[in-house]
């Protein structure tokens, strides 16, 4: 169950600070560094601080795209930021530690449960990253390497150092990361293996929620989809996103004519009502595996078994 934050709008004013950049922080853009140092500061305000020269690096002005170097001294001006919230309950940090499926000196991989956001925000005080930071306070640079939707379960990778984060982001850009998802769709998939190559555009509905559509003005996006097994009027699909766009698998499956089971945003309302009566508790989308080469070129491959609630639903359909 996701914890709501009673302190979502609490703020505090900080004083002037000077931060010396170490090797682990080097290489990141100054605007990204400031987002971490000034949590909750509106994006427009952050960029105004940079444009006005209120943020200084080694005594001089810098642009937002400036990349920090080890030894740089950053002057952070006073700002009104989000006040620290209450620590999460002990059982929640214990729970997140039980989800760790791999750890070494560079990364942590967890089996994220459905219903847990990857990070806090919009009234949510503690997502996966905040819970892990509370559980492992010595990992002060722990960062999300990629994201999963709140309802999606499965493999989630976090970097322990900024240098590792940059390296893994480069691997994503270069196509060296392989991700595989299991998704149940409405309908009988009889079209073999398909590469859905359709650009995706993020729009915003009333209320500010993100909604993604296939649109020529969108960003390039591609997903390889093939049938794993049929279940009555539904098909279990293996989905391999070749890019990492918001809601990519959900929108590409819809574009192919096969909305995902239990998808309240992009799915078929009538089919979802029927699925709920059959016992489907949520969106049927699970991050089954992720693989990427380590620094020595050896493949690291992590898997997560199908979440218990989804596995139980498939048993009902057999």
131 and 202, same domain (yes or no): no
Residue reference for tokens 């853009």: 29
Reference 76, options 41, 121, 27; nearest CA is: 41
CB within 8 Å of 315: residues ≥ 6 apart: none
Is residue 115, in this structure, part of any structural domain at all? yes
**pLDDT attached to residue 125:** 73
The two beta strands, 234-241 and 153-159, are unpaired
Q: What's the average model confidence in pLDDT over 66-87?
A: 86
**Domain end: 167, 191, 217, which one?**
167
- Count structural domains, the chain: 2
235 and 146, same domain (yes or no): no
Q: What's the average model confidence in pLDDT over 280-290?
A: 97
Output the average pLDDT for the chain. Answer: 91
Residue reference for tokens 């937002």: 64
Specify whether 149 is catalytic: yes
302 and 233, same domain (yes or no): yes
* Cβ atoms 77, 16 nearer than 8 A: yes
Give per-residue pLDDT as tens, 129-154.
999 999 999 998 899 999 999 999 99
Beta strand extents in 65-177 (DSSP E only): 73-76, 79-82, 100-103, 107-112, 143-144, 153-159
Please tell me the total number of residues recorded for the chain in this structure: 318
Buried b (16+ CB within 10 A) or exposed e, 89-125: eeebbeebeebeeeeeebbbbbbbbbebbbebeeebb
186 and 268, same domain (yes or no): yes
Global pTM value: 0.82
**Domain end: 167, 194, 220, which one?**
167
Give per-residue pLDDT as tens, 8-55.
456 788 889 999 998 878 888 999 899 888 877 888 889 999 999 999
**pLDDT attached to residue 83:** 64
- CATH, residue 162: 3.30.2350.10
204 and 305, same domain (yes or no): yes
From 31, 72, 111, 149, the catalytic residue: 149
Is residue 122 very low, low, confident or very high in pLDDT (cuts 50, 70, 90)?
low
* pLDDT above 50: residue 7: no
**pLDDT attached to residue 8:** 47
Is residue 85 very low, low, confident or very high in pLDDT (cuts 50, 70, 90)?
low
* Cβ atoms 124, 140 nearer than 8 A: no
């Amino acid at each position: 169950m996701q914890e709501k934050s009673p302190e979502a709008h609490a703020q505090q004013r900080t004083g002037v600070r000077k931060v010396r950049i170490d090797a682990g922080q080097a290489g990141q853009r100054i605007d990204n560094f400031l987002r971490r140092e000034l949590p909750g500061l509106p994006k427009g305000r952050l960029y105004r601080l940079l444009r006005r020269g209120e943020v200084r690096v080694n005594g001089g002005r810098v642009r937002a795209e400036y990349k920090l170097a080890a030894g740089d001294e950053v002057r952070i001006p006073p700002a009104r930021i989000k006040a620290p919230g209450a620590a999460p309950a002990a059982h929640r940090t214990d729970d997140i530690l039980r989800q760790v499926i791999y750890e070494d000196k560079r990364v942590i991989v967890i089996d994220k449960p459905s219903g847990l956001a990857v990070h806090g925000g919009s009234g949510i005080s503690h997502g996966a990253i905040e819970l892990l930071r509370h559980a492992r306070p010595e990992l002060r640079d722990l960062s999300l390497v990629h994201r999963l939707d709140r309802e999606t379960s499965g493999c989630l990778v976090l970097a322990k150092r900024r240098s590792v984060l940059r390296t893994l982001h480069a691997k994503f850009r270069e196509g060296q990361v392989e991700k595989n998802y299991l998704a149940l769709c409405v309908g009988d998939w009889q079209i073999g293996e398909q590469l859905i190559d359709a650009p995706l555009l993020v729009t915003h509905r009333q209320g500010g929620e993100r909604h993604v559509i296939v649109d020529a003005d969108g960003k390039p996006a591609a997903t390889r989809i093939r049938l794993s097994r049929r279940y009555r009027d539904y098909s279990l699909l293996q989905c391999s996103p070749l890019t990492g766009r918001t809601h990519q698998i959900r929108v590409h499956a819809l574009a192919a004519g096969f909305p995902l089971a239990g998808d309240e945003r992009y799915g078929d309302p009538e089919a979802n009502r029927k699925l709920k009566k059959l016992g489907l508790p949520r969106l049927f989308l699970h991050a089954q595996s992720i693989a990427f080469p380590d620094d020595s070129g050896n493949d690291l491959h992590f898997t997560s078994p199908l979440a218990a609630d989804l596995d139980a639903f498939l048993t009902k359909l057999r």
